[in-house]
Amino acid sequence: MLRCLEKLAQTKTVSGSPPDINSIFSNLYVGYNPNTTKQIIDLCNYLNTLIFYSSFGKYNFLQIYNNTASIGTTSIVNQDLKKIIEFTKLVIRYLFNNKLPFKQILSNEEIKNNVAMLESNPNLITLSNINVSGQLATKIQGNPKNIILGLLQKIKNLI
């Protein structure tokens, strides 16, 4: 995807910005402490930006959150975009309790296990290892795979 994005980003730009996703975070404060919640929000905001600009405005985090079951990726040609969307669905499953209300703060062990599931997911592991360019590079800097792994590590560091 990122190689495809590099080529496309050099010739195609997206107007506007990804939608605000703050409305989906309130339940996180029940399941996590404030510092962990902030790191999860940072991860989600990063994914929102990455998805929006990688798909040229067609997809975003909020859309995936609201339609997790119905967002199919079989017609997406760009393999890395497909992987990022599938990974985002897992973020919603593991970090957002599959959109079910949290009843209490998760234990450190539960958080570690959930983050480990994300870190070892093939959709993340097999993302291309290149830095983005063009418009996408002005929105996200560096290698998306490494940035996502770094954001997941920050969540673990708070445990």
Q: How do residues 18-38 score in pLDDT, each as one tens digit?
A: 999 999 999 999 999 999 999
Quick one: pLDDT at residue 129? 76
For 140, which DSSP code?
S
CB 118 within 8 A of CB 125: no
Q: What is the mean pLDDT of residues 122-142?
A: 78
Task: Give the pair of three-digit tokens for residue 150.
Answer: 């770094």
CB 104 within 8 A of CB 90: no
Average pLDDT over the chain, rounded to an integer: 89
pTM over 0.85? The answer is yes
CB 5 within 8 A of CB 129: no
Q: What is the pLDDT of residues 69-105, one digit of tens each?
A: 788 888 898 899 999 999 999 999 999 999 999 999 9
Task: Give the pair of three-digit tokens for residue 103.
Answer: 């009843």
- Tell whether the torsion through CA atoms of 126, 129, 130 and 131 is positive or negative: positive
Is the pLDDT confidence value at 5 over 90?
A: no
Is the pLDDT confidence value at 9 over 50?
A: no
Q: What is the mean pLDDT of residues 49-78?
A: 91
Is the pLDDT confidence value at 117 over 80?
A: yes
Q: Could you give the percent of the chain with pLDDT greater than 90?
A: 69
At 45, the pLDDT band (50, 70, 90 cuts) reads very high
